[in-house]
Amino acid sequence: MTRPEMKYLLFIFLLLSTNCSHKMNIQSIPYNNQLKKVALLDIIFSTISLEEIPEPYFKDYSHHKSATVRNYKSYDTVGFRDILLKHLSKNFECTVLKLIIITPKGEKLHYDAFAYLSDKRIIGMHLEDKKSFKLWMDIIFKDQYQKLEEYKNNGQFERQPDLNPNPQFMLTLGKGQFSRKWVNSGMLIDEKPYENVGAYLYKNAPKQYNEAKIAKEKQNYIKKYIDTTHRSNVDKVLLKKLFDEFIRVKKIKPELSKNNEQVYKEFETSAGYAFPEELKLLLSLHNGIENTGFLTAEQILDEWNNWKEIYDSVDWMLIDLTGNSHPDGRKTIGIYTNPYWIPFLSTGSGNFIAIDYAPGNKGTSGQIIAFGADETKIRFIANNLEGFFRKLIDGKDVLNNGFLE
């Protein structure tokens, strides 16, 4: 593709795209495979005013119980990040998901910056090296500038002539993101945004740009385990008998049950499958049991939604979900969470006992498992809810130790 063709493509994109409002004097680049071919000279940089950015200010520790902490002075760089992202989002009339800022190549020159917008456009910017913005940048890059001065003073660049004695630095900002890197320094940790700039921008796009791909990867992984067919096998008479015996043996009193049909409908609408029959029976016998961790219907729905939000989040890719979670033999699968686990009992600190509709290939649909914040091993507990109550009645510590059958 020639340079004139590239510029024509960018112009057409400006006319056709978007969910966000466009300021027509702001040029942008579409995020697609053609982005990889964009050269630095293809990008039209817009000069953006940052007059509204406040001067550097300290974090507010005035309400801290420690006098030492209350008197501590630390610049609120995270607060600055949020203000800057909000300011640019307002200016572009579209949410800035990620922002890359590169320090000037020389004195009194501008900062180069790239803003990734939520409608998959990228805007190249020149940010002026003055006033409050410059003060913030000097604070943020203080350690990098000091390290560079140290290298110059100790002869590092004389010893390693392949290094660049006048590198730039990069600041990357986003939700939950605040990182600083060296640019064009010749070091192994170097960033090289100006070499094949389009490919660099494509590679470093925010995860949200690949939301569909991330979701598909998770679905392809989990679909081979999903099995919601066991419900017809629930022995309701036996389950009620075991629950009553559990209540009697443990000398506890459940709260009176109530109508939960609306909760069940809400669950089924969100989940795409029916609320477990055994949990419906269990919730017809209680509405919470004090000091046991058993959840009400509303709490089950809330917790299920909380864990589904984690699973669905683009911040949790499949590799993140499976990276630190391990199966229990082949009865369970090693994943941090998924929408086919329905937590019905809390063991505290973000850990739960759940019905499992996505068992391992040696497991059983409807089996009982433990998962949660501290459960690096997805523990198998019992083949079904009846087996779970048997172990509770027998006094086995199933809430803290898994039992293989």
The pLDDT value given to residue 61: 83
Per residue in 307-345, pLDDT (tens digit) is: 999 999 998 999 999 999 999 999 999 999 999 999 999
Mean pLDDT over the full length of the chain = 90
How far is it, in rounded angstroms, from Cα 124 to Cα 114? 5
* Least confident stretch, 105-109, 227-231, 276-280, 383-387: 227-231
How far is it, in rounded angstroms, from Cα 388 to Cα 369? 10
The pLDDT value given to residue 8: 34
The pLDDT value given to residue 62: 84
Does 33 score more than 60 pLDDT? yes
The pLDDT value given to residue 344: 98
What is residue 181's DSSP assignment? Answer: E
Per residue in 373-389, pLDDT (tens digit) is: 999 999 999 999 999 99
Task: Give the torsion through C-alpha atoms of 159, 164, 165, 170, to 10 deg.
Answer: -130
Does 10 score more than 80 pLDDT? no
Domains and CATH numbers, the chain: 3-205 (no CATH), 214-393 (3.40.1580.10)
The pLDDT value given to residue 231: 59
Q: Which of 80, 76, 32, 28 is nearest to 52 (CA)?
A: 80
- Provide DSSP, 346-388: EEETTEEEEEESS--TTS-TTEEEEEETT-SB-EEEESSHHHH
